[in-house]
Structure 1
Amino acid sequence: MNTPRLCHDVVVVGGGMVGAAVAADFAGRGWRVGLIETTGPKPVDAGTPYRLRVSALNLGSEHYLDELGAWHAIRTTRACPYRRLQVWDDDSPARLTFTAGVLGPDTDHLGHIVENDLVQDALWSVLEHAGTVHRYCPNETSRLEPAPFGATVRLDDGRRVHGNLVIAADGAQSRLRQSAGIPVTVRDYRQHAVVAEVTTRPGQQDITWQRFLPEGPQAFLPLLGSRASLVWYTTPDRARQLAELAPEQLGQSIEAAFPAELGGIESVVQRANFPIRAQHAHCYQAPGLVLIGDAAHTIHPLAGQGVNLGLRDARALARHVSAAVEAGYAPDDPRVLSAYARERRQDNQLMQSAMTAIHGLFGAPCRRLASLRRFGLRLADHAGPAKRLALRYASHGRWAG
C-alpha cells in the first residue's frame, strides 16, 4: 500500500544556513514550505560558548538576512563587525588594504564574523513564526522519486513528501544530487585547514587579514572581545601533527608561525581541521529538482565567500521562481530553473576560478611569480576605481549599484 503524500508548494531538503534562508524566503511570500533536516539548530545566546565554525557575512548577505527577518537577532546576540581587510604575501612588504570608507561615507563596516549556528538558529526562529512552514526534523531523505509535477522525497521513516519544486540544500555530499544522477567536478587542493578559536592579548579588533605562504594562507577573523578565529592552511601531514598537540603547545606553534599582527595568544579554546576541496555540479537542475549552496558548488574558503554565494543562490532562486509563477509558469518549469542556473553558475564559476587562481599564484615558490605578486599587490592597492569595484563585488555580490 502506498503511503499518502504530504504536499507542499516547495520542499527544501537541508536546514542549514542556505536551506533555512530559502525556506524563509518562500514562506515570506506565502508559499507552503516543507523543510527536511537531520538535526535542528543548537540554540545560541550571548552566554553560550562560541561555536567553532564561523562565516564572514558580507553586506549583501546582511541585507538579505535583514529582509528575511533574521539579522536583528544575529546582530544583537554576537556578531563582530570588521571594517578593514588586509592581504599580503610573506615575501613582500607590499600590502593590499580595503577599508569600509572606500564604499562611501555611509558604509561603516565591510561585514560581520558570525557563528554558523547563530545564523541557522535565527533563521529557524523566523520559520517557527511562519504559519506556512512544516518542519520534518529530525529526518533524512532516502531517495528522490519522479512525479508528474515537481518531485517527491521519501523519508527514512517511510513518509513521502511532495513539492511542486524540491530544493536540494543538503550540502556538498548531497543525497538528492546523487539520487538525481548529477555529476560533479572535484578539485582537491591537497591542503587542510586548521581552525582554532583563541583568546588574544590585544582586545577587540576590527580587521580581518590573510597572509600568504607557500604552504597556504593564514587568516585572522575577529570575534567579540579578545577572541578570534584563526585559520591555518597547511599540508595534510602538518595539520595532523598540529591536531595532536596539547592546547598550550598548539598556541605556541601558532605564535611561532603567524605574523606579529596576531598580537599573541592567551589560550586555545577549541580547534579542528578538515581537508580543502572545491567542487561544481555539472548542472543545477533535474526534473522537479534544483540545487543551491554547497549541493551545487563549494570553493576554496580562503576568501570566506562560500556562504555568501549560497545566500545569493537562495535569493536568486526565490526571485526567479516566484516571478515565473506569477506569470503563469509551474515552479519546476525547466525554463525557469535554467534562468536561475545561468545567473548563478556564472557568479559561482567566477568566484571558484578566482580562488583557484589566487591559490596557484600565491602558493607557487617561483621567484618570477614572487616578483609578479609584489607588483600586483602594489598595483591593486593603488588601483582606485578598480579596487573599489572589486570591494563592491566582494561585499555585495555585484559590480555596481
Structure 2
Amino acid sequence: MTDENINNLINEAQIINNQLRIFNNQKIVDFSFVNDYDINKLIIEECPQISFIGTPTNIIELEINNCQLEFLDGIQQMIQLEVLSLVYNSISEIQGVSALTNLKELYLNGNCLENIQNIQNLTNLTKLLLGHNDLTDISAISYLNQLNILYMQQNKIYDIDCLQKLCNLKELYISENKITSIISLGNLINLQTLFISNNNISDISALKHLTNIKQLDLSHNKQIKEIQYLKSLVNLEQLHIIQCSLTDISPLRALTKLEILNLEGNQLIDISVLQHLTELQQLYLCDNNIIRIDSLYNLNYLTFLNLSMNMISEFDYIRDLPIHVLVYQDFQQIATQNEINFSNKLFAIFRASEHNIQYQLQIQSQKQISLQFQTKIHQIMDTVLQNFVHFSQNVTNLFLRNIQDDFQ
C-alpha cells in the first residue's frame, strides 16, 4: 500500500485509545501500515484480502473476524498477544498459534477446525471458544488447567474425559455434540454454568458433585428420565430440561433459589413440588400433561408463565400473581373464567393460537386493550374476537394491530 493509501485508511478508521478498527475494506491486504502507529489493539472485520504479512510484534489484542481467512502463516511472530479472535473465518489448521504462549483468551468459533493439538502449549489460557467447528478429538485441552470458560458447542465430540483435569472451569458449553457420558465432569466442582443440551446423555449422576452450579441446561437429552441427582444443586438459579422424558420432578423441591425453570416438552402431570420454589420468576411448562395448577398459587415473584399445550381447566389459582406474560393456547377458556380479573395488572399479555391464527392480547389498564395478530386482521374470524368479551366490559380503547414479527 502507498503512504497515501495508508494515511487514508487510518484517517477513515481512526485510532482511539491505542485501538484501531477497520471494517469492510477491500484494499487492506497485510499489516505493513500498523508498525508506524502506537496501537496495542487491532480489530479487522470483513476484510477478505487480509493476510499475516508484515505482522506487528507490539499488538496485545487482535481480532480478525469474518474475513474468509484460511491461513495463519506469520502469526507466530505476534508473541505479545494476550487476546486473539479469529471467529467466522475458514481456518482449518492453527499450527502457528502454538508459539503465542502469552495468550489468555482465544476465540476460534465458526471455522473449519478438525484438530487442535497445537493449543496444548497455551497454558496461560483462561478463556477458549471453539464452537461451530468440526472437532472430534479435544484431548489437547487437558493441558490448559487455567481455563475458566470453555465453549465447544456444535462440534462432533464424543469423548470429554480430558476435561476432568480442568478444575478451574467455571463455565462449560458443550451442547450439540455426540456426548454419551459426563462422568468426567464430576471433578469440576467450581463449575457455575453448564450447558450440555442436545447430546445423547442418560446418566447424570456425576452432576451431584457440582454444588456451586447456578445455570444448568440438560435439554433435548431424551434418555434422561430421572433427575434425583439434581437435588444437591441447591445453588441453581436457572434450570432447563426441555424435551427429555420426565414424569417426576419431586427432586426439584430443594432447589429453592431457582428463578428460571423450563420443563417444556416432558410428560408431567403432577407439578405440586413447584409450590416450594417461591423465588421463581419465569416458568415454562408448555407441552406436558398438566391438569391442575393450584400449586402455583404462592409464586409471588412469577412474571412469565407458559402453560400452552396442556389440559388445564381452572385458572383461579394464578389470578393474584404478578404475571405480565401468560402464554396459553385457548383464550376462550381463560376468558370464561369469570373470577379472573387480569385487568388490575399494570401490564398483562396473553398469547395463543386458534384456527391457525396467532394472536396476542395486551391489557394496559382496565379501559385499554390491545389485540394484536400475527396474520392479517381481515383473516380473523368473528368467533376469535368473541373470546375477549369477558375482558372488555369496561374497555373504552381497543387497538387492533398486525404483529407478524412479534411472536417468538
> Is the shorter-chain TM-score for this pair beyond 0.5, marking a shared fold?
no
Choose 1 or 2 for highest CA Rg: 2
With the length of structure 2 as denominator, give the TM-score of the two structures: 0.20
With the length of structure 1 as denominator, give the TM-score of the two structures: 0.20
Q: Give the structure with the larger strand fraction.
A: 1
